[in-house]
């Protein structure tokens, strides 16, 4: 099973300068809970954005750079190779170029109800059916957000 895990603003932004343009602790906790014990497929920039590999998860890094290596990363050079390393069960976690390479079975989406500036954009998910939603209000400088699960 291929599952996308991402937070996406109302304007499609998922990142700015290699970071998230918001800080939502509940989203980070959800991400940890949903990816723990799983293989995560990501691009090199996403891997590089972590201070260290995330505990309890495999880090499969999809890159075009055949010289790239990093402690804690399993390197792959194609979506097919990445899925084979994950035995076909993976949490795809970004960035935008990586999401475009896969067709998920399920999407675990945090809708961030804001319109921040950003340089990584993911288009809206059309043709999907929403099976779960939890809405949360804005708090202080944190925007309102929703946890949404989408399936085909």
Q: Where are the domains of the chain?
A: 2-151
Cβ-count burial 96-125 (b if 16+ within 10 Å, e if not): bebbeebebebbbbbbbebeeebebebeeb
pLDDT at 44: 96
Between CA 17 and CA 23 the distance in angstroms is 15
What is the model's pTM? 0.96
Between CA 132 and CA 148 the distance in angstroms is 6
Give the number of other Cβ atoms within 10 Å of residue 17's Cβ.
10
pLDDT at 11: 98
Mean pLDDT of 72-90: 97
pLDDT at 34: 97
Measured CA distances, 6 to 33, 93, 113 (Å): 13, 6, 14
The confidence band for 67, taking pLDDT boundaries of 50, 70 and 90, is very high
pLDDT at 77: 97
Signed CA dihedral, 34, 52, 66, 20: sign only = positive
Question: Which helix (DSSP H) or strand (DSSP E) does residue 4 occupy?
Answer: strand 2-9
pLDDT at 25: 97
pLDDT at 26: 97
For 21-77, where are the E strands, in sequence order?
39-43, 58-62, 73-76
Q: What is the CATH number of domain 2-151?
A: 3.40.430.10
Q: What is the pLDDT of residues 119-137, one digit of tens each?
A: 999 999 999 999 999 999 9
CA 53 to chain centre: 15
Q: What is the pLDDT of residues 8-23, one digit of tens each?
A: 999 999 999 999 999 9
Instruction: Tell me what the pLDDT averaged over the chain comes to.
Output: 97
């Amino acid at each position: 099973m291929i599952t996308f895990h991402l937070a996406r603003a109302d304007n499609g932004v998922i990142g700015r300068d290699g970071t998230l343009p918001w800080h939502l602790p509940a989203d980070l906790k959800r991400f940890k809970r949903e990816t723990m014990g799983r293989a995560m497929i990501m691009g090199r920039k996403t891997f590089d954005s972590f201070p260290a590999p995330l505990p309890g998860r495999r880090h499969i890094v999809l890159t075009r750079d055949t010289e790239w290596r990093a402690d804690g990363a399993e390197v792959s050079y194609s979506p097919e190779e990445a899925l084979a390393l994950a035995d076909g069960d993976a949490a795809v976690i970004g960035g935008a170029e990586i999401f475009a390479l896969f067709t998920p079975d399920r999407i675990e989406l945090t809708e961030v109800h804001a319109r921040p500036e950003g340089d990584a954009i993911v288009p809206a998910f059309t043709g999907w059916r929403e099976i779960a939603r939890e809405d949360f209000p804005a708090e202080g400088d944190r925007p309102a957000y929703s946890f949404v699960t989408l399936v085909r």
